Structure formats: structure tokens, C-alpha cells
Amino acid sequence: MLMNAVLPVAERMLKQHGEFYPYGGCMSLDGSITQIGAADSDTDRPKSRDLLFVLNDSLRAMASRGECKAIAVVFDVSITLPNSVEKSDAIQVNLEHSGGYSVEVYFPYQLADGELIYGETLVQQGKHEVFCES
């Protein structure tokens, strides 16, 4: 549910601009979902890693205050495809739940004439960057 709520923003930004800055989403205790952005007041062209730090820090604070039960962080990456030396752009979605679930989902893609063409989705264990492991 949370991933389905946050992924369309990345898709829309890629189709319109060919790129996007990292952003996130939070599922509150009642199940409502809020989109979360990050900014760097020092520049109009912030580095993605700086925004990821701000996002994760903000989400950790929200989680520690008990304001959310699940989070998603979405960003653009370049990955090596399995069983290949070929690189691909991918949308990475890090999902975490207060119950200890943490996963990284990769959606390899190509942009062709303003349309997204997805490859095979890849999933791996997450790093528990927001919620402490149970």
C-alpha cells in the first residue's frame, strides 16, 4: 500500500523531467499516508546523498516519536543487473515497518519517448535505517 502510494511520484517526475530528487512517505498509525520531501536551503541543486540523509533523519525522528508505523524512501540509482555486467537506471524504494520488516526494491527502467519501460523487479533485505531491528 505504501509503495503504491509513493511510486507514482517518481514515475511522473521521470516522464516529465527525466530525473527526480529523493523523497519519502510515511504511514501513520491510522494507516493514512503522507508524502515527505527534503530540501537543502543552501542550493537549488542539492546532492541526492544530502537529501537522503535529511529524509532518513526526519523519518527516524518521526518513528521515535511513534508517529508512523511504516516508511518508504524513494530515489534514483544505477545498478548492475543480475547475471550481467550491464548497468541500468532504477527506482529504488526502501521500505521499513516498525515490526522489523526492511526491504530494498529496485525497479530497473529505461526512458523511451517519455515513457517508462520497466525491467525485472529486484528485491533484497533492507538495512533498517529508520526503525531499529526487532
Query: Quick one: pLDDT at residue 38?
Result: 82
Closest Cα to residue 74, out of 15, 6, 27, 16? 6
**pTM for this model (two decimals):** 0.90
Residue 134 has pLDDT above 50, yes or no: no
Is 134 among the domain residues?
A: no
Is 132 among the domain residues?
A: no
Is 110 among the domain residues?
A: yes
Is 62 among the domain residues?
A: yes
C-alpha–C-alpha distance, residues 134 and 92, integer Å = 23
pLDDT tens digit sequence for 41-54? 777 777 888 888 88
How is the chain classified by DSSP, letter by letter? -HHHHHHHHHHHHHHHHS----EEEEE-TTS-EEEE----TT-SS--HHHHHHHHHHHHHHHHHTT--SEEEEEEEEEEEPTTSS-EEEEEEEEEEETTS-EEEEEEEEEEETTEEEE---EEEE---SSSPP-
Structural domain containing residue 102: 2-125
Is 40 among the domain residues?
A: yes
Is 130 among the domain residues?
A: no
Q: How many domains does the chain have?
A: 1
pLDDT tens digit sequence for 77-104? 999 988 888 899 999 999 999 999 999 9
Is 8 among the domain residues?
A: yes
Is 131 among the domain residues?
A: no
C-alpha–C-alpha distance, residues 122 and 134, integer Å = 24
| Pairing relationship of beta strands 70-80 and 115-118 according to DSSP bridges | unpaired
**pLDDT mean across residues, the chain:** 90
